[in-house]
Chain A
Amino acid sequence: MNIILGKRINRRFALRGLTCAIGLPLLDGMTPARAGVSVKKAPTRVAFVYVPNGVIMPKWTPIGEGPAFELSPTLSPLVGFKNDITVVGGLRQRLGEEMADGPGDHARAAGNYLTCARPLRSASRAEVGISVDQRLVESLGAQTRLASLELTCDSGQVAGECDSGYNCAYQAALSWRSARVPQPAEVSPRMVFDRIFSDGRRSLAAERKRWRARRSILDFAMEDTKRLWPTLSRADQSKMDEYLSSVRAIEQQIVRSENNPAPNRPTGLQVPSAHPHDYSEHIELMAELIVLAFRVDATRIVSWQWGREAGGRTFPEQGGYEGHHGLSHHQNDPEKIAILARIDEFHVQCLARMLEKLRNASEGDGNLLDSSMITFGSGLSDGNRHRHHDLPTLVAGRGNGTIASGRHLVAPKDTPMSNLWLSLMHGMGATDKSFGDSTGPLLSLKTV
């Protein structure tokens, strides 16, 4: 059959079509009017990007330290962004390591990536810690209509047990609202689009009426929970507390929407597909959406999982016919290592395209990349041996001048990953003294 060949030829059409369709026009005049507030400075934004199963470290690590570093083969697609990125070496996630819990490194690596806490070893329920993105929402208060966005390009739900007796939530979610409440991530670009933009079919008056109706429903939900309360056991009440906290979160979102309604869909912007054809298009669309969301200030905080930890996605174009996780246990087979390195490089190419979009989006005197902090990395360094130290990490963007970029920054050996997260929190304006297992901010991020 010619299906494979046929697809390949057609994809060129697809990508060309997309770039035209949603990459442009840049939404001039779409900066939201915030009545009475004069915008002095572009807001700082942060996005945490996650790739699973580690990377081929020898091909990832740049040669040399400081500003004079040389891009590694895997990072070579970032050649046009060398001055915009900071490659951070030497970071460790100690709480993801084996300790006395035995196997389950993939669950722990994903579960503790943004939480920097110890995932509870239990199949029935998940418990780890609040993640850095949600901690930011708590510390800064919701500054935008959407307090944060959680995205994923992995819809995979596979029957059977998850990693080594750990609850599936650790691999499914990056973002944790609290220690026990993982936040599901949005997989459909269409739905993300609909959260950012209003479809413009309703007048503002009609929209306000809808919000009032919604509030009335949520009031009922709140009262009804109280009526139910006395009949519940403590554990049930704890479940209902998750529910009530969600009710409150939506109510707050309605208040923010009333003050700052979602912008209408700009004309000329094509609604993205709910089901992208393939992985690279999925990433492309989500990247576009993040840029749009930043651009219209719908949110400033994003977590984005490209694939589930221990996921078995195949990468035929990179020669990865075997699933990614299977490949990552390469056992030093040079052929598998070469394929994995190509997959890593492909991921970095996707990242480069996202950075390109951010840089092309001008804002004031600068562009979105200047004001953003896009982190990219994995919770494992060597996937073959499940290493949780010397993690592959880079931060793109200057965070409104909070990052001295264009360097290969090698942190002291075994610096907690949470130190980097804490620094980024400070970059966002939070004043927290610590996060997770942090020992202090990564000061060298700001100063050369």
Chain B
Amino acid sequence: MALRCCTVFGGIFVACRATQNPVEPLSFTSADQASPVSAFVTHELTFSETTFLKQYCSDCHAGGKHKGSFSIDGLLLQPRELRHTETWQAIAAQIASGDMPPEDKPLPSNTERQALANWVNTNIVTTMCSVSEPGRVVARRLNRSEYTNTITDLLGTPFDLGHALPTDNAAHGFDNIAASLTMSPLLLERYVDTAAMALDAVVFDPERGKRAKTSLQADMTDMNQFVRQAGNGGVLLSHAPAGQISMGVSQPFATRFRVSVLVRSYHDGLKRKRLRDKNSGKHDPFVIGPALLSFNVDGIVSQTRLVRNKTNQRYTVDLSVPAGPHRIQIGAIKPEQVAPTVPRTIPSDILVSNMAIDGPLDIPTEPTETHRRVFFTEATNERDVVAAETIVKAFARRAFRQPVDDATGAALLSVVTRAWDDGANFVQGVQLGLQAVLVSPRFLFRTDLVREESPDATFASLTPHALASRLSYFLWSTMPDDELIQQADDGTLTENLDTQIDRMLADPRTRALTQNFGGQWLQFKNMEEVAPTTFVFKSFQPEMRGDFRHETELFFDHIMRTDQSVMDFLVGDYTFVNERLAKHYGIQGIAGPEFRKVSLVGLPRRGVLTHASTLTITSRSTRTSPAMRGKWVLDTLLGTPPPPPPPAVPDLEGDDHMELRKIRTTLRSRLEKHRDNPVCASCHARFDPIGFALEPFDGVGAYRETDASLPIDAKGELNTDESFNGPFELIQVLASTKKSLFIRTFATKLFTYAMGREPRSADKCIIDAIVARAQEDNLRFSSFVKGIVKSAPFLNSSRQTEPQLAADDEVSP
């Protein structure tokens, strides 16, 4: 087997082939595990790494030979060079796992394999850990959510701007990795437009205020996926799930809008036929009921109107809308959503057209509070340069998250005066200056500026402002707040890190950490993308997508905010449900749409692995996938992802498929048949058995006892020989024998997210230290955060980028 089959993933080496007596894999000392070094220390005296390599590896990988594109020639010349660190780790892992050397070559004994691992640990890993270079993160563009949050905080009013920007490219599982966040003309154009849009919503321009009152015909194509166009410009609103047409309004002040819509008809006559149950052939005992038109603001029902059986009637309401950009929607809803006492009815779809919005009805004659926060000083005349420069410079200071020099202030002022020259009034001119700030690279990118105290050193600590930014983008995905900036100004941030982290973790803005870190680590973000087939999973309704996701969000949020042990992610015996989800889980006595904490004692569920979100995103649309579930566990929880399938997937015997289809059988036995193929078996043996233990949950996470009417066999085992039966035992095994692996994985993922770069080999020692500290603090969530923030890579930055990230070509401004 060539070396390429077993590839380095996220720095952790993976190999699939099962060995008779697997040697303890190369491990970094962690507090709850005795280092294997001590037991084999005697071999150290006689062991020669070069002899080992020459004896077992040089046949294929030395003297100009480089089977699998791998050669040790360089290594043999200078085995202890730091640049060989990763290669040594890779070799040690391959030897330890038994993947190398191949079986038809002379094989080292287990003692020799262990000796090599020890040698690498002692001589290579230790040296690596003594190197204190913190690494450097390349200038990091704000990603979509960071950009939206930063604009929101900067202007002091909520924005939802994400949809206006293209998706960011993720790397290492996260979409905030510096090297992967590129810039392009389309994106910059969007930044220019979005800045204008956001400022328009906030800035009070007396001239624009006069013009603001308009009557707008809504664009009937702006609707959600449950609305159908019905010709003649009309659209059909369906009641379940709620179809909505919408229109954006944006005013820097709270006001009312007059919203109206023409109801063409509400009874299309088709509904009754479709109520027939396909399986039983019986008609559903539903009643065709009245239709209810809802007028919403940002998805929340504000007013409703009962639609009577008339055609071509216009319905009009006045809606109160808060300041900032909001969406006004018109939709059809089930009557019981607003009045639960109404008997179960099937309301008709409503055919509407000509949605119109008039407003704002109340126009302030005075600037709003939001406006005043930015325009905090009064202009004495229409070309008051002092006031303009003060406003723009103060804004730039906040937007750039660091002090701003006079040259920048002057340059911004010249943007303002040029606009004045072109006929703009005071406010319009200053607004253009503000827009320029929001397009500057100092706003759009974060660069890690370092202190200038010792310019000759290879690295230095970050400036207090750069540190404040790192901290707030890590925990909040947004700019530092006033207190952080104050601490940075005063130079007290470094000594108050613990208090600041505690304060920040208690702040609602950590929702960003749940969404962005949690959503990508546990992958519940993917709930938007899955499409369970409703005729296979009859219990699944499209609305449950949101419920599934919300459960895991609340669970993550709870662990973070109440500072629980991160082991709760694995074994937490509580969760959060609403009525729909409770029903799905078989939990009694929960009524209503709001989520609440419930105990799982007595139920076969524990931790995120049994959340419906996890079980659904790791299933195919029509069935469960033990392979995907097993892979999810190996990757997300244990940090040991299996290698991707080989480039050319070999064919299975076509007959197998035909044969299997004839007999009724469980998915498990079909998969086991597949594993008869030795090429697939080596890897599938690692992850399928993990997934088998989760077979009592169907493809949308509902509990079941049978598959294809046959009882489910939920027995499985790990390739390290632990066996289990069912989800409960699997989780117990993971939480005991794999505990340290899980903790390390959590720390590594959080570190990657915090730094916005791939962990280097030297960071592995840092992560060891973070884990060790967290263990002293009962593995509390905050102890990981503190460990990361107080680590050398987070507090410092190298002056030059590592070679693999540096640009090869010369660039100039």
| Chain A residues proximal to chain B, CB less than 8 Å | 1-7, 9-11, 13-14, 16-18, 20-21, 98, 100-105, 123-126, 150, 155-165, 167-169, 172-173, 177, 180-188, 190-191, 209, 212-214, 216-221, 223-229, 231-247, 249-250, 253, 270-275, 277-278, 312, 314, 316, 321-323, 326, 329, 331-334, 384-386
With A165-B7, A182-B169, A237-B807 known, 4 other A-B pairs at CB within 8 A are A13-B229, A177-B185, A243-B444, A271-B219
B230 within 8 A of A: yes
Task: Tell me whether A240 and B221 are in contact (CB under 8 A).
Answer: no
Task: Tell me whether B138 and A235 are in contact (CB under 8 A).
Answer: yes
Partner of B180 from the list A11, A168, A221 (CB cut-off 8 Å) is: A168
Give the Cβ gap from A69 to chain B, nearest Cβ, in Å: 30
The A-contacting residues of B in range 781-807, CB under 8 angstroms, are 799-801, 805-807
Q: Closest B-chain residue to A316, C-beta based?
A: B533
Task: Tell me whether A6 and B274 are in contact (CB under 8 A).
Answer: yes
Partner of A126 from the list B7, B169, B415, B439 (CB cut-off 8 Å) is: B169
B644 within 8 A of A: yes
Q: Sorted from nearest, which 3 A-B pairs have the closest CB atoms?
A: A184-B166, A238-B807, A10-B228
Provide 17 A-B residue pairs closer than 8 Å at the C-beta atoms, listed in order of the A residue: A13-B230, A13-B236, A100-B69, A103-B647, A124-B805, A126-B182, A173-B169, A183-B185, A242-B183, A246-B184, A246-B185, A275-B224, A277-B225, A321-B536, A321-B622, A323-B621, A332-B652
Q: Which of B308-316, B406-414, B563-571, B594-602 faces chain A?
A: B406-414
B708 within 8 A of A: no
Q: Which residues of B contact A183 (CB under 8 A)?
A: 184-186
Q: Which of B115-123, B475-483, B520-528, B726-734 faces chain A?
A: B520-528
Per the bound structure, the CA–CA distance linking A277 and B588 in Å amounts to 37
What's the count of A-B pairs with C-beta under 8 Å? 322
Per the bound structure, the CA–CA distance linking A4 and B221 in Å amounts to 21
Q: Which residues of B contact A157 (CB under 8 A)?
A: 167-168, 170, 175
User: In this complex, which of B423, B439, B542, B646 has the most chain A Cβ atoms within 10 angstroms of its Cβ?
Assistant: B439
Task: Tell me whether A162 and B183 are in contact (CB under 8 A).
Answer: no
Task: Tell me whether B644 and A104 are in contact (CB under 8 A).
Answer: yes
| Chain B residues proximal to chain A, CB less than 8 Å | 4-5, 7, 9, 68-69, 136, 138-139, 141, 163-164, 166-173, 175, 177, 179-180, 182-189, 192, 219, 221-225, 227-233, 236, 238, 240-241, 270, 274-275, 405, 407-408, 411-412, 414-415, 418-419, 422-423, 432, 435-436, 439-442, 444-445, 447, 449, 519-520, 523-526, 529, 531, 533-536, 541-542, 620-622, 635, 641, 643-649, 651-652, 654, 657, 757-758, 799-801, 805-807, 809, 811-813
Per the bound structure, the CA–CA distance linking A158 and B632 in Å amounts to 14
Task: Tell me whether A169 and B179 are in contact (CB under 8 A).
Answer: no
Give the Cβ gap from B507 to chain A, nearest Cβ, in Å: 24
Give the Cβ gap from A32 to chain B, nearest Cβ, in Å: 21
Per the bound structure, the CA–CA distance linking A228 and B396 in Å amounts to 14
Task: Tell me whether A181 and B184 are in contact (CB under 8 A).
Answer: yes
Task: Tell me whether B811 and A241 are in contact (CB under 8 A).
Answer: yes
Task: Tell me whether B758 and A218 are in contact (CB under 8 A).
Answer: no
Q: Which residues of A contact B758 (CB under 8 A)?
A: 123-124
Q: Which residues of A contact B524 (CB under 8 A)?
A: 159
Q: Which residues of A contact B419 (CB under 8 A)?
A: 213, 216
The answer to whether A243 and B447 touch (CB under 8 A), given A156-B529, A234-B807, is no
Give the Cβ gap from A108 to chain B, nearest Cβ, in Å: 10
Task: Tell me whether A223 and B192 are in contact (CB under 8 A).
Answer: no
Task: Tell me whether B534 and A4 are in contact (CB under 8 A).
Answer: yes
Task: Tell me whether B274 and A168 are in contact (CB under 8 A).
Answer: no
Q: Which residues of A contact B535 (CB under 8 A)?
A: 4
Task: Tell me whether A159 and B139 are in contact (CB under 8 A).
Answer: no
Give the Cβ gap from A192 to chain B, nearest Cβ, in Å: 11
Task: Tell me whether A385 and B221 are in contact (CB under 8 A).
Answer: no
Task: Tell me whether A216 and B407 are in contact (CB under 8 A).
Answer: no
Q: Closest B-chain residue to A183, C-beta based?
A: B184
Q: Which residues of B contact A162 (CB under 8 A)?
A: 170-171
Task: Tell me whether B651 and A225 are in contact (CB under 8 A).
Answer: no
Q: Which residues of A contact B651 (CB under 8 A)?
A: 331-332, 384
Give the Cβ gap from A157 to chain B, nearest Cβ, in Å: 5
The answer to whether A9 and B270 touch (CB under 8 A), given A3-B534, A237-B807, A242-B182, is yes
Task: Tell me whether A221 and B441 are in contact (CB under 8 A).
Answer: yes
The answer to whether A160 and B645 touch (CB under 8 A), given A1-B534, A236-B138, is no
Q: Closest A-chain residue to B449, C-beta based?
A: A231
Q: Which residues of A contact B229 (CB under 8 A)?
A: 13-14, 17-18, 21
